[in-house]
Amino acid sequence: MKSDKRVLLGMSGGTDSSVAAMRLQEAGYEVTGVTFRFYEAGDEIGYLEDARALALKLGMKHIAYDARELFRSRIIRYFVEEYLRGRTPVPCTVCNNELKWALLAKIADEKGIYWISTGHYVRKVLSGGKYYIAPAADKDKDQTFFLWGLKQDILRRMLLPMGDITKNEARSYAAERGFGQVAAKKDSIGVCFCPLDYRSFLKREVPETLLPGKGRFVDEKGDFLGWHEGYPFYTVGQRRGLGIHLNKAVFVKETRVETNEVVLAPLSSLYKQEMWLGEWNLVDNSRVLGADEVIVKIRYRKQANHCKVSLTVEGLLHVRLLEPLESIAPGQAAAFYDESGLLLGGGIIL
């Protein structure tokens, strides 16, 4: 079945997946495009029309798959509930690891197609008999951080045509083939369903009676500093938008759900040298748990740090950092890499 030259490609209507379609075709694959309807503001379906138009122009089959109820029940509900628990969610990671690639595999199976693909800027390599996600040629667009939860049943089927080119090269590639509109598309920014301000999104999604209302800003000793709008609207490491003016720079160190308090502290108080991860996934346990040290990143585009990882009796990953990191936020993801950049796995910070 692996010799099958058919591939199911997730198409968003943007530059990356559009160029991925062209590159797969030029590599000899019969491409079927699928556009997931995950979330739509009002009646905005321009992305779907763009994907359909491109598929038609390329002579591809195209499927529109309505996953809005699934997306709402799994991703939006998770997003809201994490903030109400005083945690900072990672919806793009959860969507990739639990929804997007799983749906691609499901639909491909129904169509009798082996290969699945997207426009992600990552590569895939085989090492020690297992497949790993590896960094893309374009370091500024590298998306490995979001894919640490994928397992071998998905990894072995992935085709990643954007991993060896840069975004500028992708735009040129489209323009040279007469797809100027594809080349000129703007990059998407932020979370797809609330790209600008998650606070206003929460206020729309959560009934006012379920929001905690006004609460207390306190310092590390518990002394009152001022009033805030409610703990869900603040995240660990936040400095801007606090709505409080003190004679020194302060950051959110902790949110306390039980008392609706937000602890403010100087940046120096936000550094930690250890963390624990749940819901973890490792490609090969021995390459992380058996290693003297690995590299960890706790946020997309955040500087990497070396660490030592061990398994606790409770089944959690204990991460001991060689150097302290600031703003380690519960709910966020941590991803592990080796020195060559191979993605070894990751988990959710507790």
> Any catalytic annotation for residue 194?
no
List the catalytic residue out of 92, 95, 194, 307: 95
Residue 162 among known ligand-binding residues: no
3-state helix, strand, coil in the chain (%, to 5): 30, 30, 40
Measured distance CA(36)–CA(123) in Å, rounded: 23
Asked if residue 17 belongs to a known ligand binding site, the reply is: yes
CA-to-CA dists, residue 93 to 67, 78, 87, 155, 306, angstroms: 17, 12, 15, 15, 22
Q: Which of the following is catalytic: 92, 192, 194, 307? A: 192
The answer to whether the annotation marks 10 as part of a ligand binding site is yes
On whether 112 is known to bind a ligand per the annotation, the reply is: no
* 341 annotated among ligand-binding-site residues: no
- The span from the CA of 80 to the CA of 65, in Å, is 24
Instruction: Identify whether the C-beta of residue 260 lies closer than 8 Å to the C-beta of residue 233.
Output: no
User: What is d(CA 125, CA 133) in angstroms, rounded to the nearest whole number?
Assistant: 6
Q: H or E stretch including 276?
A: strand 271-282
Tell whether 340 is in a known binding site.
no
Residue 172 annotated as part of some ligand binding site: no
- State the sign of the Cα–Cα–Cα–Cα dihedral 226, 228, 232, 235: negative
268 is in an annotated binding site: no
14 is in an annotated binding site: yes
**Residue 92 annotated in active site:** no
- The response to whether 11 counts as a known ligand-binding position is yes
What is the rounded distance in angstroms from the CA atom of residue 43 to the CA atom of residue 252?
A: 37
Residues in binding site for ATP: 10-17, 36, 119
Residues in binding site: 10-17, 36, 119
Task: State the catalytic residues.
Answer: 95, 192
